[in-house]
Amino acid sequence: MKRKYVPDLTRQMAVCEVNYARLNKLMPDLEGCDVREFQLVWGEHQAQIRIKVEERFVYTTTLQISQQEQSGSSWLDSPALVVRLYHDANMAEVICLKRRRQLSGVYPYPNREMHQPDEKVQLNEYLGEWLSHCQQYGQLIEPVFSVDA
């Protein structure tokens, strides 16, 4: 008999805490910054990661984190993650994919949307990989402003 999936809350909280710390290193000026973009290059592949502030409140900030491929392989869209930062708890959690409803902590399997039982855990770990790549290999893309004489 197949065992029911039981979430490991301690592990999930640890992943969310590490992701919060990574985001704070990538966006130390979060209160005043609306968008931050990073260029990633590894081998022949290039990608651009965009972190955009969607909304700000006293205890939470909602971000959209997306990837734009630049290596010509546009046949598969990369997900755009909607991430909520909980400043009082120092945690960052993927709450949904763009254009989808909020994710559940556990899904029965099989299900209509074909979510994995631990879909939310996998997306939070995926977010951690993106953020880690930005820290290790990312080059911050800063806009260039011209100064008129």
Q: Is the pLDDT of residue 92 over 70?
A: yes
At 133, the amino acid letter reads H
Q: What is the structure's pLDDT at 73?
A: 55
Beta strand extents in the chain (DSSP E only): 35-42, 45-56, 60-69, 81-86, 91-97, 139-141
Q: What is the structure's pLDDT at 74?
A: 57
pLDDT (mean) for 5-24: 92
Q: Is the pLDDT of residue 132 over 80?
A: yes
pLDDT (mean) for 124-132: 92
Dihedral pair phi/psi, residue 25, rounded to 5°? -75, -35
Q: Which residue has the higher pLDDT, 71 or 95?
A: 95
Q: Is the pTM of this model over 0.95?
A: no
What residue spans define the domains of the chain? 9-27+36-139
